[in-house]
Structure 1
Amino acid sequence: MALSLVSKCFASIPLHPNPRLRTAAAAMSSASAQRVLQLKVDPLTGSSEWVVIEEEDDGGAEASQDFQKSFLARTSYLDMLNDSYRNRCFREAIEKTVTQPCHVLDIGAGTGLLSMMAAQAMTQNESPVHSTKGIVTACESYLPMVKLMRKVLHINGTGRNISIINKRSDEVSVDIDIRSRADVLVSEILDSELLGEGLIPTLQHAHDILLVKNPQTVPYQATIYGQMVECNYLQKLHDLYSYENEASDGIHLVPAGMESILRVARQQYPMHCDAISKEIKLLSEPFKIFEFNFWRRPESSREIALRVKATADGQAHAIVSWWVLQLDWDGSIFYTTAPGWISSQNNSNARSWCDHWKQCVWFIHGEGLPLSKEEDASILAVHSETSISYQLEADCQYAEGDYHITLSPERIAIYGDCQWRCSILKAMRNAFQRRVPSLCVVADDSIFLAILVAHLSPQSRVMAFFPGLHENGSRYLQAVADANGFTMEHVEVLGRRLMSLTMHETHQREVDLLIAEPFYIANNGMLPWHNLRFWKERTNLTSVLSKDALVIPCKGILKVCAMSLPDLWNSRHSLDKIEGFDHSVVNTTLGACGDAAEDSPCLPFSVWQCGEVKEISKTYTLMEFNFSMEMHSCFGKTEVKFSEDGTCHGLVLWIDWVMDKEASMVTSTGPGTRYWKQGVKLLRRPVIVENNGSIIANRACSLAVEASFNSTNGELSIKHSS
């Protein structure tokens, strides 16, 4: 489980490619002990701080220990360790490859699972005739995982057989860190795209410095495949211009001739494509893109021109890609991340739902590429050291100086959603019927709201914080002002330079209207209640709010629903033995659910992508946050009654934003939409429900749920009992 890229640079922390971390850690050494600097973000302010994790803080530093657990629970380590098909494939391939005592190097060792497999394989193949002893070197750069690995090795009695190096592999040297080059490389430094965890530079350094000539490797090679598809949902995730034209509300986030001013990054996006398989029309057979051989030094970059024949008429909106891993040299052990419509054709390679490896989606620009059956499409595939990209005839080339704002695909889809826009527009028009604001403050990163107010009320002054956009937000508004019928004379972008406003900054005007969606770029992928940052912003602005100021949304409602989530629960249940190796010691640290674990944390997931999903209760209100008041800690409870047969695996929580006092306009972030992540609290034990809501084992028909919101750190504590 590689972290080989973690400490290379601090500047790229928010965009770090390693999906198991979702944030960054930077390693540094000191004279007394190893330590790690890990970034901690305050969800209420967006500010960040570096938390120091010491080598020797196991017995003390309670705050550091709690933060490590919280951080590691949000990674994909547990999900990966629960991937039994992956574990079996690696064990079989390692046993087949390590047939005699040798030097095995495990890069990105994680909990040491592959290292223990290699050590065991050598022990099984030791001959009394040979006196040579095998060596396993486990290289792991991330200090918290090193500490966890030591515990795993200890309880399995393999600590003396495996040498741990707490460094990035490209910092390791022969004769200094290891006594000889390794004969065998075992590693799992792969992400959904294959290359994002630094596979190529890691292999290059290993072949140059750490491995013998012509080494054996597990895996042996990987092949990337792709398929052209038509899917309106995938188009909606990037083509705002086409869908905005259907809104007819007079707002132009992407005016004609400026289609690229708001766009998604030109990259592949991990996605569970099986969740939208019924909406996908296949327009080609699978085609081979790149092959990567682990047993030889890879090139830093390549490109290949492909001619792909269309198998049906349609509009190609995206390329869906996946990889097939050949783990052994003779090609009998395979693992694939292929979508269900591919992997179901070969049941021997089928795997259970897991979140750590998904398919990848590359969006074809604009309305896509029109295809006719039997027509050839030209695709230029290019890979760098860490990513893969595609160029098609439909793609436009953006000039280097082309000004734009990059948003997530989900944010692009929200801004193109007619129903969402209509709801926001109606709320604002109703507000203006009561009072035309002299001064409106946009507290979040909503460019839509800033334009909407300036468009509907040109005489009002608009001040936008845009904490995640800063000057880019100002430049963007200037660029689209004419198309939206306003001038920048009455619009000012404050950026994040002010934590609050005084009458001096507002030019002696009181704020009549305070609005937000709420949406903060820094909170992308976080828990839904972290957007209560808006409540913090509202509190900071108390001194400049007029007595009858409108605050939109006027409140947030925390909702809860009991759900059957078998795939997600199985991917995060507590570990016992993995291929014979005891991993029970990691359960608490990695936030497992199940009998052998403690209370599991509430984690952000897009529930609609979590495999098999079923609601087994109605939706209940758990807590309300009243934005007419200053921010304060609060408590709520409810009884969630089961209404459907099934198995309850957890609680799903989200926030509904109430846009007006009459509650006639509500925007929900619940599982019925695809734009937001929900909070998921998995039960320690699944509850089987039958016969109109009765629980077989516990003789109850509901769960008592309590929530406590801490206004000092923005965190929400969830407790439940049957």
Structure 2
Amino acid sequence: MNSLFPKTLIPSTSLSSSTRLTLTPNSLRHFKLHLPRLMSSDSSHRLFQLKLDPLTGNSEWVVIEDNDDLPDCSKEPLLATTSYLDMLNDSFRNKAFRSGIERTVTKPCHVLDIGAGTGLLSMMAARAMGLNGTVTACESYLPMAKLMRKVLHRNSMGKAISLINKRSDELEVGVDIPSRADVLVSEILDSELLGEGLIPTLQHAHDKLLVENPLAVPFRAVTYGQLVESTYLWKLHDLSGIEAKVSDGIHLVPTGSDSIIHVKSRQYPMHCDAIREEIKPLSEPFKIFEFDFWKRPESNGETKVQVQVIDDGNIHAVVSWWVLQLDREGTVFYSTAPRWINSPANIGYRDWCDHWKQCVWFFRGKGMSVSQGEEVLLEATHTETIVSYNLNVQVPKTDTRQHDHNIRDFQLLLSPERIAIYGDSKWRSSVLAAVRNALQGRVNPLCVVVDDSIFLTLLAANLSKTSHVLSLFPGLREKGAQYLENVVKANSFSMDRVEVREKRKPCLTLHDTHGKKVDMLIGEPYYYANEGMLPWQNLRFWKDRTLLDPILSEDALIMPCKGILKACAMSLPDLWSSRCCLGDVEGFDHSIVNTTLGACGELPAPKEGPFLPFSIWQCGEIKELSEIFTILEFDFSKPISSCHGTAQVKFIEGGTCHGFVLWVDWIMDTDNSIVISTGPEHRYWKQGVKLLSKPVAVGINGCNSNSEYGSTIVEALFEPSSSELILKHAFL
């Protein structure tokens, strides 16, 4: 079988500590608000972009120059993994904004567009005025501003719109803009509504940039909520309650200290439609907050809502969403409500999209028990950027927490997914069995926990009373050390057998291990800073193992002993539609942005979209078309090196293949009997998605028509010097 890679593409095994940052969808839109900008001596803008190497944890700031060249996603994925493409493919959103603008901008005036992106709203406003008014577009992120210039030129709008590459709070009337604006158009909204700085942006605009009583698109936003019961949502935050049902002797949350580990008090974006069958509504939807764009908002607000319970159950969470009113008359709406909500704003509900989801707020503990017909008081507050909730309920005396006086006031904040993993009995039993087997026959072993696993640290110290455990905690650092000090008594070991490396070093030496070589090097692998990234970026474990090679004993045990890159060809119509190439967007040509934004579809060869990290179970309609197959194996008994693998895969279902979903199975023992999978059937990990350049019709091998493919060859190359995985395929 001929390789899909030219021989010259197979690189050497050099190790580098510098590569690019792969941002998750939506993350750049938040991140860009805080990027520093400098003015050089020649007055051209410069922007610093943070780049992170996930295999080393090292990061560096690099300068993006303000020149005419805009890197595409194949060279510099500054925009390719952001939510811009998903937003521009949201036709319901686009039509709502177009209708709102056309109903509002009815005569020549001065329009200010804050957070202009590709300039879509600016062009809509200019067109609505017949190109006779003034449009000022403000876009702070330099790569996006450069792309917008190209879009404006493509649509002959360069002279009609004044583009300013600044934050809106840097604009000055008489310097940057000729006068205060009559109309504000903006789309600076996240799933929570406020997270992108909506309130301070509106405050400054009304104070400095807008006329008194301006028009605005959107006109108003209203947030709504619903009290729900859900075992799945409960498992994402109450480790204390879940751990009470586990009997493995490890106490991540000791009795009486159930607040020592919990999720951050915030709303978490989530596709709640994906767990509709696991959500039991305990109330009707209720209104929470109202924000008017046409007037100056307050920085803080609070409200109390008397909510009637419609069924017996335990209130575990609030599911919230918002509804935009685009025009003053109240005829154009856009809603982020889940599909089970029946309201006028949900008529013609949008297609699946990832840029706006519902939000979930977890109530601490096991939930509040309620009965049908009962009323509860929900208290909601907001700051400039966040919304929080509280149920006004008195804690019974029998439920009062009696804290161990030896446990200090310390809290370790973890993600909901990490909480759920640590509470999963199957996962815990698998890891426990692997570590117990590894410790058998070892006397006074030195065990190094190379990642951020508090569970492995407690497990190694608990199972062997003669072991010495050294935890590196590269992300948790002193927080990990403080946590161990607080739970040591409950887990029956002393801190004289456990230590945490306080200072970050390139690698350990025998001086750090007191002259003793390492007998066990273990990890889950889990890196605190890598959550939400592509699954193979946890191969940082392999890089760390390589750096520690000089101090490993001859019979050192490495756990996991290897990783297996698995994949499956899948039908992903919703994800595809949200990432496909753009053409005409409400009458404006956006084809020029496709390569830069990492679109899939009719891209010119050899352009390809990037790998994207997604929880597949939240990606709308999905269907497995092929058997699950192995592409690569990573052998951790040897130092890190480039890996190459090929697989020929048969299709087991007919349909349209939109791409490949990839993940890593971690083999924990040398017998290959204990496997920790991060595949699509497991909800707490993200998979990597590679969308095809064009959807392909496939059929069951041997029964397919001439227009369908029965199998495919998939070839992969992992190169540690760039931290990248390259995937090639050929349908047969």
* C-alpha distance 215-652 of structure 1, shift in aligned 2 (>3 A): same
> 1:495: Cα distance to partner?
4.2
Residue 593 (1) aligns with residue 603 (2) = no
Counterpart-to-counterpart distance in 2, 1:165 and 1:68: 26
Q: Helix, strand or coil: the match of 1:329? A: coil
Kept in 2: contact 1:462–1:492 (CA 8 A):
yes
**1:38-77 to 2 correspondence within 5 Å?**
38-56=49-67, 58=69, 69-77=76-84
Kept in 1: contact 2:25–2:355 (CA 8 A):
no
Q: Deviations over 1:115-158 (max 9, x none)?
A: 000000000xx7xxxxxx41000000000000000000001001
Other-structure match for 1:259: 258
Residue 295 (1) aligns with residue 294 (2) = yes
Other-structure match for 2:47: 36
Other-structure match for 2:149: 150
Other-structure match for 1:331: 330
Counterpart-to-counterpart distance in 2, 1:407 and 1:499: 26
Kept in 2: contact 1:244–1:416 (CA 8 A):
yes
> 1:346: Cα distance to partner?
6.2
**What one-letter code is carried by the residue in structure 2 that aligns with 1:655?**
V
Kept in 2: contact 1:20–1:356 (CA 8 A):
no
**What one-letter code is carried by the residue in structure 1 that aligns with 2:490?**
A
> 1:370: Cα distance to partner?
0.8
> 1:18: Cα distance to partner?
6.3
Kept in 1: contact 2:225–2:318 (CA 8 A):
yes
**1:218-233 to 2 correspondence within 5 Å?**
218-233=217-232
**1:206-605 to 2 correspondence within 5 Å?**
206-343=205-342, 348-393=347-392, 402-436=409-443, 438-495=445-502, 497-596=504-603, 598-605=607-614
% identity of equivalent residues: 61
Q: Helix, strand or coil: the match of 1:73? A: coil
- Higher relative contact order by CA 8 Å / sep ≥ 6: 1 or 2? 2
Kept in 1: contact 2:184–2:215 (CA 8 A):
yes
Identify which range, 344-353 or 618-627, moves more after superposition: 344-353
Q: Deviations over 1:483-530 (max 9, x none)?
A: 000000010101451221111111111100000000001101100000
Kept in 1: contact 2:73–2:609 (CA 8 A):
no
Counterpart-to-counterpart distance in 1, 2:364 and 2:81: 33
Q: Deviations over 1:576-615 (max 9, x none)?
A: 0100100000000010001146311111001010001111
Kept in 2: contact 1:343–1:350 (CA 8 A):
no
Q: Deviations over 1:180-227 (max 9, x none)?
A: 010110000100000000000000011111111111100000000000
* C-alpha distance 695-143 of structure 1, shift in aligned 2 (>3 A): farther
**What one-letter code is carried by the residue in structure 1 that aligns with 2:460?**
V
Give unmatched runs, 5+ long, in structure 1: 1-12, 127-132
Counterpart-to-counterpart distance in 1, 2:558 and 2:660: 30
Match of 2:36 among 15, 18, 26: 26
Other-structure match for 2:11: none
Counterpart-to-counterpart distance in 2, 1:46 and 1:718: 24
Residue 624 (1) aligns with residue 623 (2) = no
Q: Deviations over 1:426-452 (max 9, x none)?
A: 111111224345200000000000000
**1:571-720 to 2 correspondence within 5 Å?**
571-596=578-603, 598-691=607-700, 696=705, 698-720=707-729
**What one-letter code is carried by the residue in structure 1 that aligns with 2:56?**
T
**What one-letter code is carried by the residue in structure 2 that aligns with 1:31?**
S
**What one-letter code is carried by the residue in structure 2 that aligns with 1:363?**
F
Kept in 2: contact 1:100–1:122 (CA 8 A):
yes
Other-structure match for 2:159: 160
Kept in 2: contact 1:318–1:362 (CA 8 A):
yes
Counterpart-to-counterpart distance in 1, 2:259 and 2:26: 27
> 1:468: Cα distance to partner?
0.6
Kept in 2: contact 1:467–1:520 (CA 8 A):
yes
Identify which range, 66-75 or 404-413, moves more after superposition: 66-75
> 1:696: Cα distance to partner?
4.7
* C-alpha distance 395-265 of structure 1, shift in aligned 2 (>3 A): farther
Kept in 1: contact 2:73–2:80 (CA 8 A):
no
**What one-letter code is carried by the residue in structure 1 that aligns with 2:424?**
D
Counterpart-to-counterpart distance in 2, 1:615 and 1:479: 45
* C-alpha distance 299-207 of structure 1, shift in aligned 2 (>3 A): same
Q: Helix, strand or coil: the match of 1:159? A: coil
TM-score using structure 2 length: 0.92
> 1:22: Cα distance to partner?
6.3
* C-alpha distance 113-255 of structure 1, shift in aligned 2 (>3 A): same
Q: Deviations over 1:431-486 (max 9, x none)?
A: 12243452000000000000000001121100000001111111110110000000
Counterpart-to-counterpart distance in 2, 1:621 and 1:651: 12
* C-alpha distance 267-278 of structure 1, shift in aligned 2 (>3 A): same
**What one-letter code is carried by the residue in structure 2 that aligns with 1:369?**
M
Counterpart-to-counterpart distance in 2, 1:56 and 1:507: 54
> 1:639: Cα distance to partner?
1.4
**What one-letter code is carried by the residue in structure 2 that aligns with 1:35?**
R
* C-alpha distance 22-515 of structure 1, shift in aligned 2 (>3 A): farther
Kept in 1: contact 2:26–2:355 (CA 8 A):
no
**What one-letter code is carried by the residue in structure 2 that aligns with 1:618?**
E
> 1:23: Cα distance to partner?
4.4
Give unmatched runs, 5+ long, in structure 2: 1-20
> 1:247: Cα distance to partner?
1.5
Kept in 2: contact 1:107–1:186 (CA 8 A):
yes
Kept in 1: contact 2:662–2:689 (CA 8 A):
yes
TM-score using structure 1 length: 0.94
* C-alpha distance 638-555 of structure 1, shift in aligned 2 (>3 A): same
Q: Helix, strand or coil: the match of 1:192? A: coil
Counterpart-to-counterpart distance in 2, 1:353 and 1:262: 34
Kept in 1: contact 2:139–2:165 (CA 8 A):
yes
Q: Helix, strand or coil: the match of 1:483? A: helix
Other-structure match for 1:130: none
Identify which range, 528-537 or 28-37, moves more after superposition: 28-37
**What one-letter code is carried by the residue in structure 1 that aligns with 2:262?**
R
> 1:552: Cα distance to partner?
0.3
Kept in 2: contact 1:446–1:516 (CA 8 A):
yes
**What one-letter code is carried by the residue in structure 1 that aligns with 2:61?**
W
> 1:411: Cα distance to partner?
0.1
Q: Deviations over 1:219-267 (max 9, x none)?
A: 0000000000000000000000011111200000000111111110000
**What one-letter code is carried by the residue in structure 2 that aligns with 1:183?**
D
Q: Helix, strand or coil: the match of 1:507? A: coil
Other-structure match for 2:17: none
* C-alpha distance 636-22 of structure 1, shift in aligned 2 (>3 A): farther
**What one-letter code is carried by the residue in structure 2 that aligns with 1:390?**
Y
**What one-letter code is carried by the residue in structure 2 that aligns with 1:486?**
F
* C-alpha distance 318-68 of structure 1, shift in aligned 2 (>3 A): farther
* C-alpha distance 561-65 of structure 1, shift in aligned 2 (>3 A): closer
> 1:573: Cα distance to partner?
0.3
Counterpart-to-counterpart distance in 2, 1:671 and 1:578: 33
Q: Deviations over 1:393-433 (max 9, x none)?
A: 3699999x931111000000000000000000011111122
